[in-house]
Structure 1
Amino acid sequence: MDMNIVGTMTQVLVVEDISQVGHARRTAQQLAEKCGFDSNDAGRVALVATELASNILKHANRGELHLRALPRATGIGIEILAIDRAQGFDLQACLTDGFSTGGTQGIGLGAVSRQAEVFDVYADSRGAVLLTRLYPRQDKAPDRRIGISQHSLHNDPACGDVWHLAFDGPRISALVIDGLGHGEEAERAARAGEKAFAQLPFASPLVALEDIHLAMTATRGGALAIAQFDGGSDTLTFVGIGNIGACLVAADKSRGLASHPGIVGGQYRRAQPFDYAQVNGQLLIMYSDGLQSRWNLQDYPGLVHRHPAVIAAILHRDFCRGRDDVTVLVIALEAAHA
């Protein structure tokens, strides 16, 4: 197996005052150093965080930076997303070197894009999301086109949602569990299921489901979805119990993936996995019920072609219910993940 990634929450930094720009810079740099970046690469992370935070204050007055460590087979990268709800901004001007965002060197987002190994942006009248991913310069492994946005209710240190990803050549196995309720007991239930899944993430979905069910029996239980993509055969297998939403999205259409009623670790009827063919090039989106289900990427022209991390951030920004933990997982289904 190439990688087995244990899910973590998104770190959120509110940006609404100039003093918070320095905090964002220090937090991002410290995360980079913790992830093994040398002084030069950690400096790039600090520079990018500074410019993104300053850009929020200039164009939106208020927004957030979302930070995440990105485990890779060759090391760890850093993801920084700048998110706002402003009425849009002049993207082309911001991409010009020397365009000052106030209180910075005025390096412009164009220079930021060259500092980052991955740069993407989506902006409309609802606001903007800017994505940067930075890797140590010696790390030449390709970027994985996945995006995760996970947040606990009221910034609780415990999160009842859990996600897990495993990669094996052209195969991807993805898990999302929503422990009943929220808080520590919900997290304990979800982590018990994740631990069982991580042992054999590429077992058949029904075998994996039974293992997870047994592991969660002594907990309050929860909802679950497992999706397995095989880039070699261009197929996706999906099984779900409870209210984890999932869909396959192409440029011109979207189809929901069916789940069965019940509670994993409690009671559910015999589950049936569903197989989907010719899914290469589509997006797999999985989300807990902390996200509203009535969204449509067609309402965001061109968004389906943006990086999955941008898509996950926009869905969280615009459709978070605000009364439960929330997880959004977006995967570009493509053999290039190998």
Structure 2
Amino acid sequence: MGPHLAIPVVEPNQVGEARRAAARLTHELGFDEATCGRAALVVTELGTNLARHAKGGVMLLGCTTNGKGRILEIISTDQGPGMADVRQSMVDGYSTGGSPGTGLGAVRRLAADFHVFSVPATGTVIVARVGAAADTAGVADHQAFSVGGICLSAPGETVCGDNWSVRLHGNKAQVMVADGLGHGPQAAEASQAARQVFETAAGPPHAILVRAHGLMRSTRGAAVAIAELDATTGSLLFAGAGNIAGRIISGVDDRSLMSQNGTLGVQVRKLADTPYAWPAHAIVVLHSDGITTRWNFDDAKGVLQQDPVLIAAWLLRGNRRGRDDATVVVVRRAWEQFR
């Protein structure tokens, strides 16, 4: 769950850059030759589509795991023109640009896990996962939660000052997002310290934050928020310090989760947990201030039924500030609960 690489793909020569980056990542992941080859083909097909047909194309590449193995996540985003008929666009031989029209169909066959969402005149997001465990990416073994996130470094930075993590306990989950003050190595040190405390400390959200506050005094500090979700009772506890935003979105309701002022490791008032109801089909979104706060899904309501990483990518596609680290994490109950 480290940061994703963001590679602009608006010209054909940038497709090669994305393919080389994917080759480095698959080598680091220890994939066999056949899996590396599939990853290269997926990146080439999606990158070629961006360069030929899209505006503002960006490819995101990230390494993740779901406890069953390592996965390469390949995400294609653009600012339009979008697809009028996604199903038709998946059919081999269909093309609006004079190409053979086998790109998306080939990607779907090559990837172990594949998702696409598009709004005409607005844009498209495609998520393709490659790796032996990718067919269960984002879904916990017990099938209670589906969790996905994207973390991007500020432009020009080689490390990310944001961080996020998730802990699963049966029908409960705790999710943390941290944003180190500023960006660069010192911000990364602060957010990593918050993550280390989160992954080792027990207790409700506010208690973990209190412990992190004391242990982060040697860092420059970070905004940190933790949400604890209970899939059985449909409830949520939230505590945060600083400008980590949280929202519960069901398609008919949109409720903000409230953090208090302060910075862990620097200064913070008394922390407390705030309870919220978590409707059965609602998603929970946490994000750093690299994302604008006035976003909504009014023109893309269908995205709420999509894969959590695709939802995160859709938010980043249209709402990233572009001058800071940016992180979006999305949590939902796993689909198996509704079948």
TM-score (norm 1): 0.88
Residue number in structure 2 paired with 1:194: 195
Residue number in structure 2 paired with 1:239: 239
Query: Aligned pair 1:69/2:70, yes or no?
Result: no
Residues 117-170 of structure 1: per-residue CA shift (max 9 Å, x gap) = 322222221211111122317x76464233322222223013221111222333
Residue number in structure 2 paired with 1:82: 76
The answer as to whether partners of 2:45 and 2:107 remain within 8 angstroms in 1 is: yes
Residue number in structure 1 paired with 2:265: 265
Residue number in structure 1 paired with 2:153: 152
C-alpha distance 214-174 of structure 1, shift in aligned 2 (>3 A): same
Residue number in structure 2 paired with 1:228: 228
The answer as to whether partners of 2:249 and 2:284 remain within 8 angstroms in 1 is: yes
1:158 match: secondary structure: coil
Residue number in structure 2 paired with 1:328: 328
Residue number in structure 2 paired with 1:132: 128
Residue number in structure 2 paired with 1:164: 165
Query: Aligned pair 1:43/2:45, yes or no?
Result: no
Residue number in structure 2 paired with 1:16: 10
Residue number in structure 2 paired with 1:55: 49
Measure how far apart 1:37 and its partner are: 2.3
C-alpha distance 186-26 of structure 1, shift in aligned 2 (>3 A): closer
Residue number in structure 2 paired with 1:4: none
Distance 2:125 2:165 in 1: 24
Aligned-CA RMSD value: 2.4
Structure 2 letter corresponding to 1:267: Q
Residues 263-299 of structure 1: per-residue CA shift (max 9 Å, x gap) = 2112222112012234433211001111110011223
Percent identity between the two aligned chains: 35
1:297 match: secondary structure: coil
The answer as to whether partners of 1:232 and 1:335 remain within 8 angstroms in 2 is: no
- Unpaired runs of at least 5, structure 1: 1-6
Residues 192-231 of structure 1: per-residue CA shift (max 9 Å, x gap) = 222111112x522222111110111122212110011222
Per mean C-alpha deviation after superposition, the further-off stretch among 17-26 and 151-160 is: 17-26
The answer as to whether partners of 2:63 and 2:70 remain within 8 angstroms in 1 is: yes
C-alpha distance 232-129 of structure 1, shift in aligned 2 (>3 A): same
Residue number in structure 2 paired with 1:185: 186
Distance 1:97 1:128 in 2: 19
Equivalent of residue 31 in structure 1, options 7, 16, 25: 25
Equivalent of residue 113 in structure 2, options 110, 118, 143: 118
- Unpaired runs of at least 5, structure 2: 140-145
Q: What is the correspondence of 1:100-119 to structure 2 with a 5 Å cutoff?
A: 106-119=101-114
The answer as to whether partners of 1:94 and 1:108 remain within 8 angstroms in 2 is: no
Distance 1:71 1:78 in 2: 9
1:167 match: secondary structure: strand
Distance 1:61 1:247 in 2: 29
Measure how far apart 1:115 and its partner are: 2.3
Distance 2:118 2:108 in 1: 16
Q: What is the correspondence of 1:284-295 to structure 2 with a 5 Å cutoff?
A: 284-295=284-295
